[in-house]
Amino acid sequence: MLQSFAGERKVRIDYVGLEEKQAFAHKLIEEGDLPEEVIRYSLFDTINSGCSIGANRNALLLYTPGELLFGADDDTECQIAPSPRLNMGLAFNPMSDFMQIWSFPDREAALQSVSFVNKDVLAIHVQLLGRELKVCLADPALAADLEFRQVNTRQLRAIVSGDGRVATTFTGLIGDSGMPTPLAYLLLDHESHDRLVKSDKEYLTAMTSREIFRVVDRPVIGSNAWCVTTTIGFDNRRLLPPFMPMFRGEDDVYGATLGTCFDNYFCGHLPYAIAHLPEGRGYYPRDYINEFASNLLVCSIIATCMVSFSLWDGMMSDSDRLRMAGKFLMEIAQMSQTDFEEYLRLQVVRMHSITITMLEAHLQKHGGSPRIWAEDLEKYIDALQTAPTNPDFLVPRDMLALYPLEEARNHSRLFVGNYGKLLYWWPEIVEAAKSLVARYGDGANFRVRFSG
C-alpha cells in the first residue's frame, strides 16, 4: 500500500516498524555505549501497558535530529478550519485562557459549524516553529496587530537575551476533544465560559459530549500549560525532552518536562484547527470528573514530581538541567516505598490546594452562577479535598490495570525512577542518534523506504 501511494503521489515514504526500531536501538547502544535498559525503556512498551505512543514519539525524535518535524495522530484528517475571528497579529500569553471552545451534541453538528479551507498544514506551523521570539516580533505579518499586554517576565527575558525560541507548535482541533475528561471546561473564562453556561442544556452538552471546536483567534506564544499533541510541530534542531514512553498522558509529562528543564523554550499556538475523527469514543459520563479526582494516573505522578523540581532560570545548559531533573527523579524513586508515597502525597496535596484556590476564585468571580455549573465546581473541590485521605489514592489506576495493588504501588515508584534515568541519559542518546544519522544518512538500514 505504501509503495503504491508513494508511486501515485511521487513522494518518498519512510516506514519504521518493530523490527526497524529494534535494529535502531541496537545501533544506538553500540554507538553511544548506552545502557540497554534505558534504550529499551525509551523506545518500547517494556511492561506491556498496551499504550506506547510516547515510545514511538521518542523514536521519531531520534530518527530526525536536526530537522523541523510535524506529527499527527493516526485518527486525524487534513481538513483545516480557521478561527472564525482569524487575526494573524501575534499575542503573548503565559496562561492557558487564550483557547476558544465551542461544544456540540454530535460530530455532524461540529463539522457543519466550520468552513474548511485549502491550506498547507506545514506552512501553518512554520509561521512560528523554530523561530526566535525576537524574530517573531520583527515579522511584519505577526507584528501588525501585536498583543503584548500579557507578556511575562520569562518571555521578556527571553526576548531581550535573544535565546528564546518557539520549540513546539500546536493547532486546535475540530471533532473529538482528545481529553480524558471535560474537567478543563470548569475553568473556562470570557466568551468560552459564557457559551458553556448559556443554558443548562448547553452546559450538559459540553460536560458529556466529546465533540468540540477548539482554536485560538491569533498566533499565541505561551507557556507549556496546554500541551495537547493531536497535531504538533517540533524544532528538533536543538535538544528537546523525551516523552514518557508508556501510558496515556505522555503529552502532559512532555509539557511539564519542557517547562521545567528548558527555560528559553516556548510553545506556539496557531489559529487553525485540524479534524480529529476517531470512532467509538462515545460520551463522558455525567459525573466523571469527580471519579477522575478520586485517584491518579501514571502521568499525573510523573508530572507532579517534575513540577516539584526547580532551578533558577539561566542556570546550566539545557543538557545539564535535563540531567539534574533526571537525578532528582531517580533519588525520589530510591526512597523507601513509605517515604516515596509520603513525599508524593505532600506534592499532590500542594497541587490540589493550588487548583482549589483557582476554582474558588472562579466561583467567586461569577457569583456562584449558574447553579448547575457552580454545583459541579463545588463537588469537584470536595473530591479534591477528600481523595488524598484514601490510603490507596496514590496507586495510579492505569498501573492497577496491569498489576495487583501492592505490585502496582511498587511499579509506580520504579516507573518514576526509570523516567528519571531516561532524562539523565537523553542528551547522550540524542548525540548517538545524530552520529548514526550522519554516518548512515539516507542509506540507514533501520527504516524501510518507498520512493515515488
298 lies in some domain: yes
Q: Which domain holds residue 439?
A: 13-451
**Domain-embedded: residue 5:** no
**Domain assignment of residue 2, yes or no:** no
Give the helix/strand (H/E) hosting 400: helix 397-400
Alpha-helix runs per DSSP H in 45-184: 53-63, 107-112, 121-125, 133-138, 140-143, 153-161
pLDDT digits (tens, 9 = 90+) for 28-68: 999 999 999 999 999 999 999 999 999 999 999 999 999 99
For residue 327, give the nearest of 406, 261, 250, 243 by alpha carbon. Answer: 261
367 dihedral zone (left: phi>0; alpha: psi -120 to 50; beta):
left
Q: Is residue 252 part of a domain?
A: yes
Q: At what angle do helices 337-365 and 371-386 cross, to 10 degrees?
A: 160
Number of domains in the chain: 1
Residues in the chain: 452
> How far is 88 from 199, CA to CA, in rounded Å?
32
Count CB atoms within 10 A of the CB of residue 236: 20
CA distances from 30 to 25, 33, 213, 414 (A): 9, 5, 47, 26
The DSSP code for 72 is E
d(CA 56, CA 71): 11
Kindly give the confidence (pLDDT) of every residue in the chain, 452 residues in length, as a single tens digit, with 9 standing for 90 and above. 999 999 999 999 999 999 999 999 999 999 999 999 999 999 999 999 999 999 999 999 999 999 999 999 999 999 999 999 999 999 998 666 678 999 999 999 999 999 999 999 999 999 999 999 999 999 999 998 998 878 888 888 888 888 899 999 999 999 999 988 898 898 898 899 999 999 999 999 999 999 999 999 999 998 766 788 999 999 999 999 999 999 999 999 999 999 999 989 999 999 999 999 999 888 999 888 888 888 899 999 999 999 899 877 667 899 999 999 999 999 999 999 999 999 999 999 999 999 999 999 999 999 999 999 999 999 999 999 999 999 999 999 999 999 999 999 999 999 999 999 999 999 999 999 999 988 876 555 688 888 88
Reference 242, options 67, 57, 10; nearest CA is 57
Distance from C-alpha of 180 to C-alpha of 184, rounded to nearest angstrom = 10
Does residue 8 belong to any structural domain of this protein? no
**84 assigned to some structural domain:** yes
In a domain, 7, yes or no: no
d(CA 179, CA 284): 10
pLDDT in tens, 145-175: 998 878 888 888 888 888 899 999 999 999 9
6: in domain: no
What is the DSSP code string of 207-266? Answer: HH--EEEEE-SS-EEE-SS---TTEEEEETTS--PPPP-SSS-HHHHHHHHHHHH-TTEE
Task: Show contacts of 179-182: CB within 8 Å, 24+ apart.
Answer: 179/228, 180/248, 180/249, 180/292, 181/284, 181/288, 181/289, 181/292, 182/206, 182/207, 182/208, 182/284, 182/288, 182/289
What residues form DSSP beta bridges with 100?
Answer: 215
